[in-house]
Structure 1
């Protein structure tokens, strides 16, 4: 069985790649997501939970920008130049994973005040929640596609054994 480059990245150099590329960004994003729920329900826009949310949001975005740049230079460009992608599932898994940079970096820019200027705190929180939702969707799509055997959709075959 073949695996996507996304899954291969996580499986190689255990446990470090799993920690660097999966655990850290997901823990930061989940911290933001869970604290966001409590902030939204409690409407406490200035307490300790909001500070944790803000710090985790800033770190997550800038951390993922680093991951994006690193993987784009060391994986995406070389794989594309050499024609070594393992089919559409492989490209989509990596693409969805890397697209997480948009909402996570959006959260960071919102938190440091470069995005959402002129908006009220409640309006910023709504944008923040949308970014969190987008990240959760793209991250889960990447995980699902990443776990597929890329041979299933390669070369026009059904990939299903009977």
Structure 2
């Protein structure tokens, strides 16, 4: 079966790659999203939910930064420089996965007090919510394109290489 590098990464070295590159990030992101809803419904920016939200955001941002550096060095740059992409669908899947660094690192920097340190909590939470939404968009684009057969977009058949 033809698959994108995204799906190839998740399928290799089972179950470790799936846990490292997908499950850990998704569990943290879903924890952030669920606690964010609780915070927004209660209006409490200082309770237990916010503490879990903040810790999850910081861990997710730092954790994904490591994944980002590793995959840029060992996958994205070599595939780009050596013409190794299996077409545009493959490129979109991996690139959108890596774009998760923007919202995840953004939330971490926000929750560590590195950005918007002196802003009101409500304003910081608005940005935090925007980062959650952005992460959901890039992660779902990556997953959808990652599950496609790259030959549908004119990519080459990996069986005939």
TM-score interval, smaller chain = over 0.9
Deviations 1:52-111 (A, max 9, x none): 000000000010010000000011111122211000000000000000000000000000
Shift in Å, 1:155: 5.7
Aligned length, in residue pairs: 156
Change (3 A) 1:127 1:155: closer
Partner of 1:84: 84
> Aligned partners of 1:115 and 1:29: how far apart in 2?
20
Q: Which runs of structure 2 are paired with 1:114-125 in the superposition (5 Å)? A: 114-125=114-125
> Aligned partners of 1:81 and 1:43: how far apart in 2?
49
Are 2:16 and 1:16 equivalent residues in the alignment? yes
Partner of 1:26: 26
> Aligned partners of 1:70 and 1:55: how far apart in 2?
23
Using the size of structure 2 for normalisation, the TM-score is 0.94
- Poorly superposed stretches of 4+, deviation over 3 Å: none
Are 2:137 and 1:137 equivalent residues in the alignment? yes
> Aligned partners of 2:20 and 2:139: how far apart in 1?
15
Unaligned runs of at least 5 residues, structure 1? 157-162
> Aligned partners of 2:138 and 2:124: how far apart in 1?
21
> Aligned partners of 1:31 and 1:44: how far apart in 2?
17
Unaligned runs of at least 5 residues, structure 2? 157-161
> Aligned partners of 1:155 and 1:63: how far apart in 2?
31
Moved more, 111-120 or 86-95: 111-120
Partner of 2:152: 152
Partner of 1:65: 65
> Aligned partners of 2:132 and 2:54: how far apart in 1?
12
Partner of 2:55: 55
